[in-house]
Amino acid sequence: MDKKNKTLGEFIIEHQTAFQYSSGELSKLINAIRLAAKVVNHEVNKAGLVDILGAAGDTNIQGENQQKLDVLANEKFIQALKNREIVCGIASEEEDDFISVNSNDKQNQNKYVVLIDPLDGSSNIDVNVSVGTIFSIYRRITPVGTPVTIEDFLQPGKNQVAAGYIVYGTSTMLVYTTGNGVNGFTLNPAIGTFYLSHPNMEFPETGKIYSVNEGNYIHFPQGVKDYIKYCQKEEDDRPYTSRYIGSLVSDFHRNMIKGGIYMYPKSSVAQNGKLRLLYECNPMAYLAEQANGKASDGYRRIMEIEPSELHERVPFFCGSRKMVEKAEEFMALKP
């Protein structure tokens, strides 16, 4: 079989022995995420036809207005993970606290916790622009057979055993890693099957795209301002092209394919940045490093940061290695 005709299910089975904790549980977990992704994809594609656009009327723990599709995606992923009885805990960007999951026949015997951003870029929903889902998987560190605690979720990104995202765009793709490179699978909507379409994905060493919300320029640290001016300067292979979608999944996905850097720095109005360490930065950092890229907060490796709270925010620089290193040089000169 041509490797590009391989289904996600076949790929998981074929490669599960390469995973250091090969017991079949992680494979079932990825399959649960695959199922939820197909359900959410179906709902996203109905936007505009049924009443799932607009605000839900509530705010999440971050103080952000929840969109109807935020709520729906959150429900679908939590339901899929609970129903398969393969996780002992779930943390979602849309939930105030983590969820402890008990299995009917083996209470708290499951070994994995999942952290998820069910619908990244939800401000784009109403205008038909790509959105996504981000997930991060860890082995629990509290004893099996006991309820999960906050300690199981507050682990540094280097402890991740798997991470990935789904991008709902012109086609729907699931991209993930278990520590052996990054592979992308595209959904064939006619038969509801994901096929391997992007094997062994890698960031080009450098690129010509920078992705940042330049509307916040006046609030950025001087080092970030200087790096943006560097990107815009007509010299050597510059100026670079500015591309910013406002959905981390979409910006990251484009930059991994074409070469580029994504930045969400701290600012005078957001001292810790905006992105969440556990739901967004750690999984994307894991993917980036597995794809020959780099991720930092401007000074240190993202996956070395010890989390202190569930919804912690950090500055984020991620993408082609040489571009991230150049941004760090400017940050070091003028923090």
> Is 96 labelled a binding residue?
no
pLDDT, mean of residues 108-134? 85
pTM here is 0.92
- CATH topology for 209-333 is D-Maltodextrin-Binding Protein; domain 2 (3.40.190)
pLDDT, mean of residues 300-309? 97
Domains of the chain by residue range: 3-200, 209-333
CB 322 within 8 A of CB 206: yes
pLDDT tens by residue, 260-295: 999 999 999 999 999 999 999 999 999 999 999 999
Q: Which residue has the higher pLDDT, 239 or 145?
A: 239
> Is 171 labelled a binding residue?
no
Note the pLDDT of residue 145: 84
> Is 244 labelled a binding residue?
yes
> Is 120 labelled a binding residue?
yes
- CATH topology for 3-200 is Fructose-1,6-Bisphosphatase; Chain A, domain 1 (3.30.540)
pLDDT tens by residue, 20-44: 565 677 788 888 999 999 988 887 7
Structure tokens at 163: 């991470």
Burial of 7: CB neighbours in 10 Å, binned 0-12, 13-18, 19+: middle
Mind spelling out the 3-state secondary structure of the chain?
A: CCHHHCEHHHHHHHHHHHCCCCCCHHHHHHHHHHHHHHHHHHHHCCECCECCCCEEEEECCCCCEEEHHHHHHHHHHHHHHHHCCCEEEEEECCCCCCEECCCCCCCCCCCEEEEEEEEECHHHHHHCCCEEEEEEEEECCCCCCCCCCHHHCCCCHHHCCEEEEEEECCCEEEEEECCCCEEEEEEECCCCEEEEEEEEECCCCCCCEEECCHHHHHHCCHHHHHHHHHHHCCCCCCCCEECCCCCHHHHHHHHHHHCEEEEECCCCCCCCCCCEHHHHHHHHHHHHHHCCEEEECCCCEHHHCCCCCCCCECCEEEEEHHHHHHHHHHHHHCC
> Is 58 labelled a binding residue?
no
Task: Give the percent of the chain with pLDDT over 70.
Answer: 88
Q: Which residue has the higher pLDDT, 21 or 329?
A: 329
Note the pLDDT of residue 288: 98
Q: Which residue has the higher pLDDT, 149 or 27?
A: 149
> Is 310 labelled a binding residue?
no
Q: Which residue has the higher pLDDT, 41 or 326?
A: 326
pLDDT tens by residue, 42-75: 877 765 544 444 454 455 555 555 567 788 889 9
> Is 41 labelled a binding residue?
no
pLDDT, mean of residues 219-224? 96
Q: Which residue has the higher pLDDT, 238 or 27?
A: 238
pLDDT, mean of residues 130-158? 94
Note the pLDDT of residue 4: 61
> Is 208 labelled a binding residue?
no
> Is 179 labelled a binding residue?
no
Please give the C-alpha separations between residue 240 and each of 209, 251, 252, in angstroms, as whole numbers. Answer: 5, 15, 16
> Is 81 labelled a binding residue?
no
Structure tokens at 158: 């280097």
Note the pLDDT of residue 54: 46
pLDDT, mean of residues 89-97? 94
> Is 192 labelled a binding residue?
no
Residue 302 confidence class, pLDDT cut points 50, 70, 90: very high
Note the pLDDT of residue 49: 41
pLDDT, mean of residues 302-324? 97
